[in-house]
Structure 1
Amino acid sequence: MKKTQPDTLDFVPQKDIVYNKLLPYADRLDAESNDILSKIKGNLGRAVQLREIWPGVLFWTRKLSTYMRLYGRKFSKEDHVLFIKLLYELVTIPKLEISMMQGLARLLINLLKKRELLSREDLELPWRPLYELYDRILFSKTEHLGLNWFPNSVESVLKTLVKSCRPYFSEAATQEMLDEWRPLLCPFDVTMQRAISYFELFLPTTLPPELHHRGFKLWFDELVSLWVSVQNLPSWEVHLVNLFARLANDNIGYIDWDPYIPKIFTRILRSLNLPVGTSQMIVPRYVTNAYDISHVVLWVSALLGGPSKQAQGQLSGLFNSITSFFHPSNHGRWLMKLMKLLQRLPASVVRRLHRERYKKPTWLTPIPDSHKLTEEDITDFVESMMQPVLLAMFSKTGSLDAAQALQNLALMRPELVIPPVLEKTYPALETLTEPHQLTATLSCMIGVARSLVSGGQRFPEGPTHMLPLLMRALPGVDPNDFSKCEFRFCLFSPSFSSAEFEDFVLQFMDRYVQH
């Protein structure tokens, strides 16, 4: 009888690389990985006991990193927790060389990356050593004097490390952080920026519902009232918005945002820095302190749904007010931000739908049924975005952002998205005088091609359009025009039935031989 993996390994692996089972020597991998892992554990522990950071600890942590690349997280949960705790202690050693700290931090980030493998019951990490490390490096009093030198990458590594450790901070961590940084909250002092940036980075927002009174409820009302009271868009407001976006995404259905939704969308509209009036006036101070679009779309997608439906009404009003700015004749430095909003918002909603309907449940807080997106919510969202997306197809910045937006919208509602794109594509394939219109429409057609070919209950007539589109695109295969060829070959890539494919290939080869 063939032995199961836990019998051969003597433990249940956290997350193995499944493709290793397809290798011709797969039956020898368990013994090989066991041997390597035992050497890593023994020698790494010995090096730490001897306090031999270099070369001992450095060498064997690199061996562990190589092991994870080859075999994945092929160790037990107990070993996983011990590796994390050991590396956490090594990273937070005072006055450790920066290059070593970065290497150890990257390995620790890799160990913490899969949050679903370890719950808060399995692992708890202290926040203060990380804070002291971050404060010592990012707010060094000696670097500007030339007494210390830190590489440019150290900030991003440290921030990623804090984000990876944040779900495992203790229950009392929130109150301790507030006691530490509340004295810095003075809107008329530079310490305000520092305090809010600490709050944004360190405050945990993934506590279970029964611990909310020890989590965000300690600071939510205070920071929201602070955000509502400021009107001149100070630099620290951006960090506050990032914190609120993360909080909303991690606790969908557990916070009542309805009193603040009109204010939220008003601030988002103001942050887009659109020209107003006949003189096209732009307030210059809003340019540098504008909200980060990636956090804006996270916040908006987390607000959608729920019993009140207020966020969808405000979102429809927002797009109605800015639709004219997507017209191809409009252009300005604000256009890039609008295109990012258009491209990233449907992707964020698709990620939320995947989280609600298809993702395996983990120890993280699930979304209550009362606040999950309904079919009506999705339809309203897609309808509100269609007009600006169709205008953005012919934007001066290119059609790539619109194509990506249409791709995600077509995954949700193909019957609302694909027909308008087809209406623009068929005439564009026939015209001879507007080549750029054809390039833009074909780019968007490629984006929705998967939803078009797959058909399904919502758009069953989709596959019938594929062959006519390919036949119309065939005459445009011109070796002298690289961009036209590129878009047509991308359109040819979706699969269809073997008979249709054979017929198409024969006609394509005749056309190609002619050229």
Structure 2
Amino acid sequence: MKKDASETRGFVPQKDIVYNKLLPYADNLDAESNEILSKIKGNLGRAVELRELWPGVLFWTRKLSTYLRLYGRKFSKEDHVLFVRLLYELVTIPKLEISMMQGFARLLVNLLKKKDLLSRDDLELPWRPLYELYDRILYSKTEHLGLNWFPRYVYDPTHTSTKSYFPESATQEMLDEWRPLLCPFDVTMQRAISYFELFLPTTLPPELQHKGFKLWFDELISLWVSVQNLPVWEVHLVNLFARLANDNIGYIDWDPYIPKIFTRILRSLNLPVGTSQMLVSRYLTNAYDINHIVIWVAALLGGPSKQAQAQLSGLFNSITSFFHPSNHGRWLMKLMKLLQRLPMSVVKRLHRERYRQPTWLTPIPESHRFTEQDITDFVESMKQPVLLAMFSKTGSLDAAQALQNLALMRPELVIPPVLEKTYPAMETLTEPHQLTATLSCMIGVARSLVAGGERFPEGPTHMLPLLMRALPGVDPNDFSKCMITFQFIATFATLVPLVDCSSAVHDRNDLTQVEREMCSASAEFEDFVLQFMDRVLWRF
């Protein structure tokens, strides 16, 4: 079928939107998209040749952006490469209007979003034009005089998508350009480290690592270890190390630095210590970014040494008491963000190791992949802080998201303690906050609960008792409890069809014990629906 479709279109598409095939006029989409694409290519090329940025280039780049939303990347690899090169040239035009440059940059990022579609062999982009553009914006000599004005985040996304396609010689050229600025006692240090974070490529294949991070890793990690006073540029250095660790899992020996890494992370959280709850006065802008911390930690886990997991367990043991519901402070938001995003990063790494199709990006070696024991140890280290954070004063949403990701990995360790808190909360009427918090967390683990599986086969048997006990929560006098109850019931009704299957117990003899219990209990679904509708109609 793919061969016939490619013959009809005249090319093999990079990645089209598969749901378009379900449209009633799907047979006409190929001809329609080919006609639109040919118009975009012809008119965009003509506008660029005539140097008509406005309205020609701007109009047809917007048409290309619309084409991506409607049809996906439904063009050949050759067209994809040409589009990227053209947009890169447009973005780096000197003295281009900022609004126009932002539009070109957004389209360029969209074209480069799927890294697996274009490898380094297909595309190579020069780094210096983009650096000169950033230098004009970040260190403008006229902006503070009011002669220019740049939006705050005008430069953020472009470098993230393009740095993977810089040439092999780019790393050495960047070091020659910015290494003279490395002076810890001068303001140029901040400039050099920020450029290293923005531009240094970290996705070179293992056979080219001598032209990549091995040229600068020892120097910069030694600089990071020697600095103790948390300067502003240290944050950019940590972001660079996090990206490097994530792109090269298993190819860098982090073991000598792991104790120092977790010590610095703990210090960056700026937690109160002692009986007087003393805080070290630090600028919040100098603290490590939680998004990069969780990426770094997730990349360090696994491997033969298990040192990172031991340090992570020690870190959570030392800060578990801070998650108690009675604690509150400006540091709590950072702790909750760490708790919520670390399991998410580990789940993403597991997906990358076990399920994602191999691409040109550096694969994770077998010796450093997660074992079943590694996953169990990770979930055990995070379980107690998450269960405490369920009733935090900042809300239960972060804890619910953390429980959702932990339950995807080990439902038998996570769901039972949540159920132990949920059943008593549904029986009491004097603690509505406990009920809303536990229901929010049950919504997070609902998919893992009803899926059952070999790890937690008894999970589906809890669904009907939970639904029946949730019915008193339909109370218009308590709006928050009523809304979370509706969400709870809607979640389970979406995941499981409410159908009476009790006759299957007599008709089939290949059911497991759990399946027989579920089929017998399904006779009560009708009673649940009637009670629910009666409450809704009567209460409202």
- Normalised-by-shorter TM-score class: over 0.9
Shift of residue 514, structure 1, vs aligned partner: 3.6
Select which of 498, 502, 510 maps to 2:526.
502
Tell me the equivalent position of 1:466.
463
Give the whole-Å Cα distance in 1 for the aligned partners of 2:153 and 2:216.
31
Give the whole-Å Cα distance in 2 for the aligned partners of 1:56 and 1:198.
34
Select which of 268, 272, 278 maps to 1:271.
268
Shift of residue 286, structure 1, vs aligned partner: 5.1
Identity %: 86
Shift of residue 2, structure 1, vs aligned partner: 11
Correspondence 1:290 to 2:287: yes
Shift of residue 159, structure 1, vs aligned partner: 2.3
Give the whole-Å Cα distance in 2 for the aligned partners of 1:41 and 1:214.
37
Tell me the equivalent position of 2:506.
none
Correspondence 1:114 to 2:138: no
Correspondence 1:421 to 2:429: no
Select which of 294, 317, 321 maps to 2:318.
321
Alignment deviations for residues 415-440 of structure 1 (CA, whole Å, 9 cap, x no partner): 00011011111111111221211111
CA contact 1:233–1:286 (8 Å) conserved in 2: no
What does residue range 175-324 of structure 1 map to in structure 2 within 5 Å? Answer: 175-285=172-282, 287-324=284-321
Question: Which stretch has the larger CA shift, 101-110 or 209-218?
Answer: 101-110
Tell me the secondary structure at the aligned position of residue 458 of structure 1: coil
Q: Which runs of 5+ in 2 are unaligned?
A: 501-521
Give the whole-Å Cα distance in 2 for the aligned partners of 1:410 and 1:334.
26
Question: Which stretch has the larger CA shift, 393-402 or 490-499?
Answer: 490-499
Give the whole-Å Cα distance in 2 for the aligned partners of 1:446 and 1:3.
44
TM-score (ref. length: structure 2): 0.93
Alignment deviations for residues 152-204 of structure 1 (CA, whole Å, 9 cap, x no partner): 342xxx22111110100000000000000001100001110111000001000
**Which amino acid in structure 2 is aligned with residue 498 of structure 1?**
V
CA contact 1:273–1:286 (8 Å) conserved in 2: no
Give the whole-Å Cα distance in 2 for the aligned partners of 1:2 and 1:125.
31
Are the structure 2 counterparts of residues 2 and 404 from structure 1 closer, same or farther at C-alpha, using a change threshold of 3 Å? closer
**Which amino acid in structure 1 is aligned with residue 111 of structure 2?**
L
Alignment deviations for residues 438-481 of structure 1 (CA, whole Å, 9 cap, x no partner): 11111111111111111110000001111111111112211222
Give the whole-Å Cα distance in 2 for the aligned partners of 1:19 and 1:433.
49
Alignment deviations for residues 193-241 of structure 1 (CA, whole Å, 9 cap, x no partner): 1110000010000000000000000000000000000000001000000
Give the whole-Å Cα distance in 2 for the aligned partners of 1:3 and 1:81.
22
Tell me the secondary structure at the aligned position of residue 285 of structure 1: coil
TM-score (ref. length: structure 1): 0.97
Give the whole-Å Cα distance in 2 for the aligned partners of 1:407 and 1:234.
36
Are the structure 2 counterparts of residues 456 and 47 from structure 1 closer, same or farther at C-alpha, using a change threshold of 3 Å? same
Shift of residue 513, structure 1, vs aligned partner: 3.6
Tell me the equivalent position of 1:141.
141
Correspondence 1:9 to 2:5: no
Give the whole-Å Cα distance in 2 for the aligned partners of 1:305 and 1:67.
42
**Which amino acid in structure 1 is aligned with residue 499 of structure 2?**
S
Tell me the equivalent position of 2:151.
151
Tell me the equivalent position of 1:476.
473
What does residue range 62-73 of structure 1 map to in structure 2 within 5 Å? Answer: 62-73=62-73
CA contact 1:273–1:287 (8 Å) conserved in 2: no
**Which amino acid in structure 2 is aligned with residue 308 of structure 1?**
S
Are the structure 2 counterparts of residues 3 and 316 from structure 1 closer, same or farther at C-alpha, using a change threshold of 3 Å? closer
CA contact 1:169–1:204 (8 Å) conserved in 2: yes
Correspondence 1:172 to 2:169: yes
CA contact 1:327–1:391 (8 Å) conserved in 2: yes
**Which amino acid in structure 2 is aligned with residue 202 of structure 1?**
F
**Divergent runs of 4+, >3 A:** none
Tell me the equivalent position of 2:503.
none
Are the structure 2 counterparts of residues 335 and 78 from structure 1 closer, same or farther at C-alpha, using a change threshold of 3 Å? same
Question: Which stretch has the larger CA shift, 130-139 or 35-44?
Answer: 35-44
Are the structure 2 counterparts of residues 191 and 475 from structure 1 closer, same or farther at C-alpha, using a change threshold of 3 Å? same
Tell me the secondary structure at the aligned position of residue 313 of structure 1: helix
CA contact 1:271–1:286 (8 Å) conserved in 2: no
Alignment deviations for residues 260-295 of structure 1 (CA, whole Å, 9 cap, x no partner): 000000000000000111221111125331100010
What does residue range 35-114 of structure 1 map to in structure 2 within 5 Å? Answer: 35-114=35-114
**Which amino acid in structure 2 is aligned with residue 346 of structure 1?**
P
Correspondence 1:353 to 2:350: yes
Tell me the equivalent position of 1:381.
378
Tell me the equivalent position of 2:510.
none
Give the whole-Å Cα distance in 2 for the aligned partners of 1:49 and 1:436.
65
Alignment deviations for residues 483-503 of structure 1 (CA, whole Å, 9 cap, x no partner): 111111222121334123333
Question: Which stretch has the larger CA shift, 102-111 or 126-135?
Answer: 102-111
**Which amino acid in structure 1 is aligned with residue 336 of structure 2?**
M
Correspondence 1:432 to 2:456: no
Tell me the equivalent position of 2:508.
none
Give the whole-Å Cα distance in 1 for the aligned partners of 2:282 and 2:118.
44
Give the whole-Å Cα distance in 2 for the aligned partners of 1:254 and 1:65.
38
Give the whole-Å Cα distance in 1 for the aligned partners of 2:153 and 2:269.
29
**Which amino acid in structure 2 is aligned with residue 271 of structure 1?**
S
**Which amino acid in structure 2 is aligned with residue 113 of structure 1?**
K
Give the whole-Å Cα distance in 1 for the aligned partners of 2:306 and 2:259.
12
